[in-house]
Chains A and B, each alone.
Chain A
């Protein structure tokens, strides 16, 4: 499916030409494209004030990659922090949601209705309002300014959505498959692991991608709960650059921005097929 849409020669329909539509779309997205182009061009060039044409090529804005600026943490440490932060969140969200969703969808647990309602309310609750309370709790636990603390908080906030999503997908898996598995002698866990989970693989992929992106772009929570130099993530580092009034450097800011967004682009390029899967509702493979 995704391959098909990626082929540019594939006409939208034999009845009308796709050219006018493509033209219109190009025109409308031109400003965006120009902005992105300049975001990149500005990071590798210098230009005279007020001029749009770059006057010289330079790598000085990318210097942050190999030298640590005074008062700032090392970029590679920050990147490592971000990767750890994001991967842990994805892992926790996936593991807990895929199990909790199954339990809420299939098992006859006590207070199931209460849990379902609770998950729903938590999902609808604006988490930012909790941030002061969370701050105090973390301080109490000694987890303030630590990656673990902020990972737990972020994962907990993301979980209701994940659980709810997974429950919805489990609900579409026919009961008979599970009955057949149980009759075939498999334990309930094996049935879940070997028979049911593979049915919702596209959903797991999509949820994983969503939570990865959500973790990668998270700013408020790390900013408030883990601002320290040793545990900084990229979003906080980036924000620190503009907040720094003394030696304000727009070129470097843009370069870090590009550095920050590249992994996301790569991820999209590789996994867009799976993301599309969730909308197409296909359970192929």
Chain B
């Protein structure tokens, strides 16, 4: 079912958290809401599931205006950031609660709970209480409780934050598979850009209550609209160099590096600029040589990560296949692939 937030605003008292948000999630789509802490992700989610009334604007499910509908009438499944399991009930009662509220027959509830518990692999824990579960198990109980009602819309507020790396990987594909199979429209709130990129059809990046950009993961990565978006996606993160425009080229502040860039034609000389270089575009391949000193080296198993300080003090990150000829303190001359860099104006806009 399509979700549409139309000119959605939310303020608590006098503090305005979200202003004029426009967001459409297609039917059966999975959208990631990505953004720094406190930018209003949970608030948006709570408005969609009906816990917060919008201050103004409309919320539509399909063509139905649900703005003034209470939560109970919306058929939304939510996994809360803090799980919000019912501590006095067993896992089985927790998962079955949405059905019990609907007054389904006990045998029916029991059977459905068993099915869904098997799906999220907690069928051996049904008799326990939430207090006797690990964080990851609690999370899966919360997920099962959200799914059991076969909701039209599934909202996930950082559902994988507490899982270990392996389980997180499993759950990622598990959630994605469930979502695809059931055709539920889903919104996933996360801090983790890898999660957002790997699980979702589209990503919406939020900052201070605004959506900065919505795009598919690869578009977002290869074509960020602002320096904020470029800085948010990618691990290890992009590095930024400060400089000026000079005759259609980017020049580092001390003049030590000159990059001719097509994007800069028509930009007045002396304009302050920021250059974004992803770590994979600085290393052995590329057209422009850059000299610097390695200050930090870290191996990540398959790849090595280096921090290189340029003569003017700015830092470039480089990620390369494992090699052990470069140690911290070494002077290097590596190549920069200028065609894959991004230039941003002073206000963060991409040129």
Contacts and interface: CB of A to CB of B under 8 A. Distances in A.
Interface of A: 174, 176-177, 179-187, 190, 195, 198-199, 201, 283, 285
Contacts of B46: 179
Interface residues of B, number: 26
Contacts of A184: 97-98, 101, 145, 149
Nearest to B155: A183
A180 B78 contact: yes
Nearest to A283: B87
Contact of B51 (A177, A183, A198): A183
Nearest to B52: A179
A176 B82 contact: yes
Nearest to A179: B51
Interface string B60-92: 000000000011100111101111111110000
A283 B72 CA distance: 28
Q: Which of A177, A180, A199, A283 has the most CB of B within 10 A?
A: A180
A181 B84 CA distance: 9
A183 B76 contact: yes
A195 B71 CA distance: 16
B80 A176 contact: yes
Given A184-B145, A184-B149, A186-B101, A179 B84 contact: yes
A190 B76 CA distance: 18
B243 interface: no
A67 to B, nearest CB: 51
B72 A174 contact: no
Interchain residue pairs A-B with the least CB separation, the first 7? A176-B84, A180-B84, A184-B98, A198-B88, A182-B71, A186-B101, A185-B101
Given A182-B71, A183-B71, A177 B101 contact: no
B166 interface: no
A109 B49 CA distance: 23
Interface in B92-109: 97-98, 101-102
B72 A185 contact: yes
B283 interface: no
Contacts of A177: 84, 86-87
Nearest to B151: A183
A80 B78 CA distance: 53
Interface string B24-52: 00000000000000000000001001110
A183 B49 contact: yes
A147 to B, nearest CB: 36
Given A198-B88, A199-B88, A283-B87, A185 B82 contact: no
B95 to A, nearest CB: 10
Contact of A187 (B50, B72, B78): B72
Given A179-B51, A180-B78, A186 B72 contact: yes
Q: Which of A174, A181, A190, A283 has the most CB of B within 10 A?
A: A181
A198 B86 CA distance: 10
B160 to A, nearest CB: 18
10 contacts: A176-B83, A177-B87, A179-B71, A183-B49, A183-B71, A183-B76, A185-B75, A185-B149, A199-B88, A283-B87
A174 B51 contact: no
Contacts of A179: 46, 51, 71, 78, 80, 84
A199 B87 contact: yes
B229 to A, nearest CB: 31
A283 B50 CA distance: 30
Q: Which of B77, B84, B97, B145 has the most CB of A within 10 A?
A: B84
Given A180-B80, A185-B98, A186-B97, 18 more contacts: A176-B80, A176-B82, A176-B83, A176-B84, A177-B86, A177-B87, A179-B84, A180-B145, A182-B50, A182-B72, A183-B50, A183-B71, A185-B102, A186-B72, A187-B72, A198-B88, A199-B87, A285-B88
Contact of A174 (B78, B82, B149): B82
B184 to A, nearest CB: 15
B274 to A, nearest CB: 40
Contacts of B87: 177, 199, 283
Contacts of A185: 71-72, 75, 98, 101-102, 149
Contacts of B98: 184-185
A174 B84 contact: yes
B152 to A, nearest CB: 13
Contacts of B97: 181, 184, 186
Q: Which of A176, A183, A187, A201 has the most CB of B within 10 A?
A: A183
Contacts of B81: 176
A176 B86 CA distance: 10
A71 to B, nearest CB: 54
A200 to B, nearest CB: 10
Contacts of A181: 86, 97
B78 A183 contact: yes
A110 to B, nearest CB: 17
A106 to B, nearest CB: 13
Contacts of B85: 180
A187 B72 CA distance: 7
A231 B51 CA distance: 51
A180 B71 CA distance: 10
Q: Which of A182, A198, A199 has the most CB of B within 10 A?
A: A182
B187 to A, nearest CB: 14
Contacts of B75: 185
Contacts of B88: 198-199, 201, 285
Contacts of B86: 177, 180-181, 195
B82 to A, nearest CB: 5
A183 B83 CA distance: 13
B158 to A, nearest CB: 13
Q: Which of A186, A190, A283 has the most CB of B within 10 A?
A: A186
A190 B75 CA distance: 17
A221 to B, nearest CB: 37
